Amino acid sequence: MSDDILLVEDRDHVRHLTLNRPEVRNALNRDLNDRLVDAIIDADHTPDVHAIAITGAGSAFCSGADLKDARDLAAAGKPFYGPLHNNRRSLMEVMIDSRKPTLAIVNGAAMAGGFELALSCDMRVAAEGAVFGVPEAKRARGAHFASVLLPVTVPPGIAMEWLYTGRRIAAAELERWGLLNRLVPADQLQAAAMALLDDVVASAPLSLQRLKLTYRKTAGMPPHAAIRLDTGPDVYLSEDQKEGARAFLERREPRWQGR
């Protein structure tokens, strides 16, 4: 395994991002956080990248923020500023602003900020042994993103139980509440993720961006207002729209140009 804390590989129109700090269960320190932000923004501006996949090296997906940072600041008598009070863009903000479809490939524990990272993705595939949780209340922290997203994603009572207790949540429980697209044995995780990604990137890349941006930009809007919001590339005037019609009528696979 490389010494690089974030492994980046573009393959078959997918940017694969692997958190590579297995010795600390892929905890997010400032360097890894910033590297992820840069890689996601760069993927947004790379035409040949149509989707983004995130996973973790070793036995964990991501254990959340590296608490050594908070401890070291406290020891130095300095405050620890949360996500709304520092000079960096939030990783979760960048994730939900991304124009490209995102998939979390959850190979193991996804705790605290690691759970939030998985939640910020559009889709999630998990191994049966994976566990999740938002234990911030037990660490005197905030779970800011999860506090916003979970109560509008699962029934509020369930979300608040998870947030208030910080208990470990089995992958099967997440599947029951509709938070997982696939739940598979660990030895089938990569195959299931690749099959889903292959299906996604077989779609027109501009359509993927428009669908993603429409979903994200209209969140919380009344439907009658949301349907008037014209966001993302105008696929109806694209060359790919013409190609899609031709390919369908000619009974062949389309050859997308991304324009």
The residues assigned a catalytic role are 116, 136
Query: Token pair of 244, please?
Result: 């899609």
Strands (E), the chain: 6-11, 14-19, 51-56, 60-62, 102-106, 109-111, 123-127, 131-133, 169-170, 182-184
Position of tokens 């124009």?
99
* Span between the terminal Cα atoms of the chain, in Å: 38
DSSP labels, 101-128: -EEEEE-SEEETHHHHHHHHSSEEEEET
Q: How many C-alpha atoms does 98 have within 13 Å on its Cβ side?
A: 29
Q: Is the dihedral of CA 94, 96, 98, 102 positive or negative?
A: positive
Give burial (CB, 10 Å; 0-12/13-18/19+) of 76: exposed
Burial class (CB in 10 A: 0-12, 13-18, 19+), 97: middle
* Listed residue (171, 198, 174) closest to 185, CA to CA: 171
Contact of 105 with 57, CB cutoff 8 Å: no
The side-by-side arrangement of strands in the sheet containing 169-170 is 60-62, 109-111, 131-133, 169-170
